[in-house]
Amino acid sequence: HVQLVESGGGSVQAGGSLRLSCRASGFTARRYYWGWFRQILGKEREWVAGLVTDSDTVSYADSVKGRFTISDGGPHNTLTLQMNGLRPEDTAMYYCAADPWVPGSVVERLTAARFWGQGTQVTVS
């Protein structure tokens, strides 16, 4: 059973940085889609970034490209999201998601992911 636990959220001023972590346990497949979404209360969940483990496949939402960097420490341990140049519009609850790899796109497969963390709040003022 896959479990995902996020950490690293907090409050920061605009222009500042935060580093989110997602610790995974229970990974049994050879390769996973693994990534981040965010959601503001009352609004739809928004794609942020994702990758395929043990590959060079990485994908970012246009709104965070050039400011956020996603990486996994391997093997199937911790996914990090380094967030620089934070803006007030980045304020949201950030969720980690994962699903075993099958052919498809990072965004599509993670949007339908079966495994989610509990979320960590990021507030930018």
Kindly compute the dihedral angle of the four CA atoms of residues 80, 52, 4, 45, in this order, to the nearest 10 degrees.
90
Report pLDDT for 76: 52
**Cα separation, 35 vs 95, whole angstroms:** 8
Q: In this predicted model, what pLDDT tens digit does every residue of 51-72 receive, in sequence order?
A: 999 899 999 999 999 999 999 9
Flag residues of the chain having pLDDT under 70.
74-76
- What residue has token string 């599509």? 108
